[in-house]
Amino acid sequence: QVQLQESGPGLVKPSETLSLTCAVSGYSISSGYYWGWIRQPPGKGLEWIGSIYHSGSTYYNPSLKSRVTISVDTSKNQFSLKLSSVTAADTAVYYCAREEATRVHDYWGQGTLVTVSS
Amino acid sequence: QSVLTQPPSVSGAPGQRVTISCTGSSSNIGAGYDVHWYQQLPGTAPKLLIYGNSNRPSGVPDRFSGSKSGTSASLAITGLQAEDEADYYCQSYDSSLKVVFGGGTKLTVL
């Protein structure tokens, strides 16, 4: 059974960098698939942030591309998200998920709320 | 404004059939990209409901079905149950090189 678990600070100050990690169990990241991040502002819909292929190739939402970095650590079987220069608009529940070639997200983490506030 | 358009809400009585539409354009659904559907119960992560336009993952009841035609897709739920009350999202891929979601539809079981 594939399981994903997000971790990271729940509170980030404006203009700083949001950093989250997604630990994967039950499947080896290096074996394949894309690994993605999706966010959901409180009371709103889902927004795809980006994803990384197991080989390290990255794909970002053009609207966030200038601020986003996704990386993978196959030795720890985890992947990470960095979002720079955050504002209150970046306050959201952040989910990590496994993404197939058709871009379907078949396994999701439980999500972690990140609040941007001073 | 979401790239894929869904009705904000739909409702139905137990046992009835409801459908949720997802309208896109020639750069996403109409370009041939697959549509996927997710169910999000309150306070939980989205769960994959339909993939590849009309396929159900193991464990999803056959009361849920998906279809796609042209630039639109639909999710149908038959034999509505109280436990189906949730938010539903469609998702596809866009030629602008990104994954896109619909704005979500809140299903109320009357």
Decide if A95 and B91 are in contact by the 8 Å CB cutoff. no
Residue B9: predicted pLDDT = 97
Contact B72, B24 (CB under 8 A): yes
Amino acid, res. A41: P
Give the separation between CA A104 and CA B34, rounded to whole angstroms. Answer: 9
Contact B65, A14 (CB under 8 A): no
User: Best mutation site among A2, A44, A70, A103 for testing chain B: the one with the most B CBs within 10 Å?
Assistant: A103
Sequence-ordered alpha helix ranges (H) in B1-110: none
Q: Which tens digits make up the pLDDT trace of A35-59?
A: 999 999 999 999 999 999 988 899 9
Q: Which tens digits make up the pLDDT trace of B29-85?
A: 999 999 999 999 999 999 999 999 999 999 999 999 999 999 999 999 999 999 999
Residue A117 to chain B, least CA–CA distance (Å): 22
How far CA A39 is from CA of A48, A50, A62, B68, in Å, comes to 7, 10, 15, 26
Q: Which tens digits make up the pLDDT trace of B6-45?
A: 999 999 999 999 999 999 999 999 999 999 999 999 999 9
Mean pLDDT of A82-99: 98
Residue A17: predicted pLDDT = 98
Longest dimension (CA), chain A: 41
Residues of chain B contacting A61 with CB distance shorter than 8 Å: 98-99
What three-state secondary structure class fits B13? coil
Q: Which tens digits make up the pLDDT trace of A7-35?
A: 999 999 999 999 999 999 999 999 989 99
Residue A31 CA neighbour count, 13 Å, CB half:
8
Give the separation between CA B96 and CA A52, rounded to whole angstroms. Answer: 17
Q: Average pLDDT of chain B?
A: 96
Residue A55: predicted pLDDT = 86
Residues of chain B contacting A101 with CB distance shorter than 8 Å: none
Q: Which tens digits make up the pLDDT trace of A95-111?
A: 999 999 889 999 999 99
Residue A5: predicted pLDDT = 98
3-state secondary structure chain A: CCEEEEECCCEECCCCCEEEEEEEECCCHHHCCEEEEEEECCCCCCEEEEEEECCCCEEECCCCCCCEEEEEECCCCEEEEEECCCCHHHCEEEEEEEECCCCCEEEECCCEEEEECC
